[in-house]
Structure 1
Amino acid sequence: MAEVERGSWGGQLEFILTCVGYAVGLGNVWRFPYLTFQNGGGAFLIPYILMLILLGIPVFFFEICLGQFASLGPLAIWNLSPLFKGVGVAMMSVGLMVALSYCILMSYILFFFFASMGPLPWKDCANSWNTNKCITSNIFANSTLLEQIIKDRNITRAEIKTPSEEYFYNQVLKSSSGLDEPGGIVWQLALCLLLAWVIVFVVLLKGISSLGKVVYFTSTFPYIMMTVMLVRGATLPGASKGIEFYLKPDIAKLKESSVWSDAASQIFYSLSTCTGGLIAMASYNKFKNNTFRDSMIVPFINCGTSLFAGFAIFSVLGFMAKEKGVEVSDVAATGPGLVFVVYPEALSRMAGGTVFSILFFIMMLTLGFSSLFSMVESFFVMLMDEFPDTLRCNSTRPIIFRGVCIVIFYLISLPMVTKGGFYLFSLVNEFAGGFPRLITGLFELLVVTMVYGYSRFAEDISLMIGKKPGIYFQVTWCFLSPLLIVVSN
């Protein structure tokens, strides 16, 4: 039976938009702005841009060249050195863990999106899930009243919870006391998770031929929403204070090694390198596609998006700080705490909060799905390229394979939507996004440059783009990038 052809992108723009959608994700909104604020404000841009030049762009260019030349997924490509095929297996494993945890986040965002359709349920403390520790943010500005409430309720300041905090942990997650108490499945989250996986299946039904069309929307629409949120945030009282906290430079911070380590890890995290996705997406390029051009466009768009998102986030945090009568540093947060606790609280306090809440979570949905689609497709590509005779033997086999995988992924994800599931999700998310990714990146560079040979790889690249990589790429691939990966650990 004839093997179905792999296919290719409908045009160069499809590949670029897919890479932008893959790289620009939730981390650009909830991780970069906080790291900038925490690591010296505007001064953090110095190590960040240096790491982009010495680590981000070289590794990005390296991976898309590797995928484009071989026209194979991140597993089959290691036939170049079969002894190190474990690097491909590691990439596949890490990429799958990232995808599974990402889909859990999408279930949370879907939950909040649907909840935003009516009066915002996290606006006050008059709900069945609230406790006597719940105090609305407007009370914080009146210290006398706040102290009286604390005294009357026999609680401490440290025990105070906001309505959005109790909504997320008590109503959305129905969180237990720990991982040792998993509890039952939270069916509302399980349904949202099912919807998320169904959306992924529908979009990836025909592989890159369907994904390449969807990215025209998912990779561009978030910028419209981000601009709307920035304009709204900039008109709020206290916005300028938030932006000042975001970018005010503290040069002394550059003396701290953690600042440079954070810059390196953020570059790795935000460009979505070393999980096989870029190799998989590039494997569908035309052989003569200009990979150098693409490796300049995508990383700079990604970094610009991170910086832009910071203005949208911190303008609203400045408003929140003014409302509560506290410093911006007291309301700033990173990760899920920003998206599901702090920002929703701010949205509930502003005029037209329901509308802007819907817009915000639409933005988060498109950002998240644009990354998730590429993550999952990369996994499919890895296995289909490794077992083409089985998985590409006819036109229906890839669809069946994708459907079976999606069902398995959903079942594997279910423990993370139990009452103790958030703790499991946090473990998976922390593990997949950290050390393993850096290790796969290190071995990837070392194997290709030292075992396969830098000279051979440079010749391969010259066949595609007409010239060999310059001294900049030779130094970064063979020395600086591996060194920075080791040091950042």
Structure 2
Amino acid sequence: MTGGFLVPYGLLAVVCGILLFLLESSVGQYTQEGFITSWRKMCPLAQGIGFGQLVISLCFFIYILIEAWALFYLVFSFRSQIPWASCENTWNTAHCAGLQTFNSSHVTANQTNITSAAIEFWEHRVLAMSGGIEELGSVRWELALCLLACWVVCYFSIWKGVRSSGKVAYFTATFPYVIWGPLPYVMLLILLIRGLTLPGAWEGIYFYLYPDLNQLSNLEVWIEAGSQIFFSYSLTIGTLNVLGSYNEYNNNCYKDCFWICLLNSGTSFVAGFVVFSVLGFMAQKQGVTVDNVAESGPGLAFIVYPQAAAMMPLPQFWSVCFFLMLILLSVDTHFVTVESVITSVTDLFPKLLRTQVRHEIFVLFVCSFFFLIHLILVTEGGIYVFQLIDYYGCTRACQDFMAVCQCLAMGWIFGEQKSLTN
């Protein structure tokens, strides 16, 4: 995310993100139904929106893989020597550069073929990436165990329904902020201070903040900004409808919408300074531009943040803090998405699924089925499948089309005057 990206991001957050957030949460609060039956209740002609959201939600299940990756990193964070800080490992190549190499004069601007130890740990140890999607290879049993653990936690978080998931949500959502107090923010602040003291950090910050106005004419930048807003705000996947349905009918959803969106975007903006300060440092040492240091996507959080933590005293402590916080927050996000799907399907077949025993069996079936399906994501070519679903199923055209359909259904079919009256 660069300066040329921040302008479209800010504009779309105001004119699109916040308004869609309010639309979806208020629809759920008004109908007191899941995202399938809520549209059937409000606008039968547009009930296909609910089924479209169901498909997108199922695609979003793949993000449990981020939780599995974080668990994998957490285990390695307890080692006396953090493996992504050095090149003394079996998976490292001759082009590997550890932290000691980065901080020495051995790395010059002419050495553009070097690779950081953090990148090699990610690509060769965690993912064991194959040559392409056509080479799936074998299942990585370590990641498969992490994936299994994540689905087991998900099941026992939601198997009793909203009552059980509410208790777990209280723990996972508040633990990093209430139990740890301000530790997540303190950690981000410390990482930022450490990043800003690194050589080349300000080049990264400049790349992050500089308003490249030429990029405003690039449609791809606007699409990427919209995709980021849709993802971070959880728009068009039905989660907001379901969460809104648990509110009181007269709840002030306007205030909730404003503060949640503000907190979401504000945290993302501050975290960008941490990321790009380290990217600037890595770019200077490798003699390349900032945009060539790390690609966008899930790998960024598993390369830049571990690299930054490894540069500080007590790197094990900071790595454990970061990945534990990431796991807790991703657990919350994942099982809320799964619970939203289960709630909506249950509302669709209330007589069949609303008994306690049948509900538990249905939850077990969903978790078991998707664990087996997601085993393809932990193969050697699984990252390519993940990127394919992420690019085409979870973002871009699908969510944009669904957002347009929601606005048309609410404004033209359901009716503007009726919306304002209710």
- Same-fold call, TM > 0.5? yes
Q: Distance in 1 between matches of 2:317 and 2:346?
A: 43
**Are residue 214 (structure 1) and residue 196 (structure 2) matched?**
no
- After TM superposition, the structure 1 = structure 2 runs for residues 184-333 of structure 1, keeping only pairs within 5 Å, are 184-220=138-174, 221=176, 224-236=183-195, 237-238=197-198, 242-321=204-283, 328-331=290-293, 333=295
1:144-164 deviation per Cα after TM superposition (whole angstroms, max 9, x unaligned)? 66699x8xxxxxx44x33222
Matched, 1:419 2:380: yes
2:352 is aligned, of 386, 390, 393, to 390
Distance in 2, matches of 1:147 and 1:243, equals 20
Structure 1 vs Structure 2: percent identity of aligned residues?
36
Secondary structure at 2:97 match in 1: coil
Q: Measure, in 2, the Cα distance between the counterparts of 1:323 and 1:356.
A: 23
Query: Contact between 1:109 and 1:364, CA under 8 Å: does it hold in 2?
Result: yes
CA contact (8 A) 2:86 2:99 kept: no
In the TM superposition, residue 253 of structure 1 has moved relative to its aligned partner by 4.0
Is the CA contact 1:63–1:278 (under 8 Å) kept in the aligned structure 2?
yes
In structure 2, what is the equivalent of residue 75 of structure 1?
36
Of 46, 60, 67, which residue of structure 1 is paired with 2:21? 60
Q: What does 1:16-27 align with in structure 2 at a 5 Å threshold? A: none
Residue type at the aligned position of 1:228: M
Following TM superposition, by how much is the alpha carbon of 1:358 offset from its aligned partner in structure 2, in angstroms? 1.2
Q: Could you tell me which amino acid in structure 2 is paired with residue 410 of structure 1?
A: F
Q: Flag the 1:144–1:409 CA change in 2: closer, same or farther, 3 A.
A: closer
Find the partner of 1:403 among 364, 367, 383.
Answer: 364
Cα distance in 2 for residues equivalent to 1:325 and 1:226: 32
The superposition leaves residues 351-396 of structure 1 with CA deviations (integer Å, 9 ceiling, x where unpaired) of: 222211111212221232222121111111111100010100x233
SS in 2 for 1:396: helix
Matches within 5 A, 1:459-474: 459-460=421-422
Contact 2:275 2:304 in 1 (8 A): no
Q: Displacement of 1:259 after TM fit?
A: 3.7
- 8 A contact 1:139–1:145 mirrored in 2: yes
Instruction: Summarize the Cα distance change of 1:49–1:103 in structure 2 as closer, same or farther, 3 Å threshold.
Output: same
2:385, 2:25 → 1: CA distance?
33
Distance 1:439 1:128, change over 3 A: same
Contact 2:67–2:330 under 8 Å retained in 1: yes
Aligned-pair distance for 1:56? 1.1
RMSD (CA atoms):
2.6
Between the aligned partners of 1:103 and 1:242, the Cα distance in structure 2 is 30
Long gaps (5+) in structure 2: none
Q: Which residue of 2 aligns with 1:174?
A: 128
Distance 1:241 1:363, change over 3 A: farther
CA change 1:297–1:135 in 2 (3 A) is: closer
How far residue 287 of structure 1 moved from its aligned partner, in angstroms, is 1.1
Q: What secondary structure, in the 3-state scheme, does the structure 2 residue paired with 1:340 have?
A: coil
Match of 1:430 in 2: 391
Q: Which runs of 5+ in 1 are unaligned?
A: 1-34, 151-156, 461-489
Normalised to the residue count of structure 1, the TM-score between the two structures is 0.77
State the 1:318 CA deviation.
4.5
Shift of 1:321: 4.9
Report the Cα distance in structure 2 between the residues aligned to 1:360 and 1:162, rounded to whole angstroms.
20
Match of 1:164 among 93, 118, 121: 118
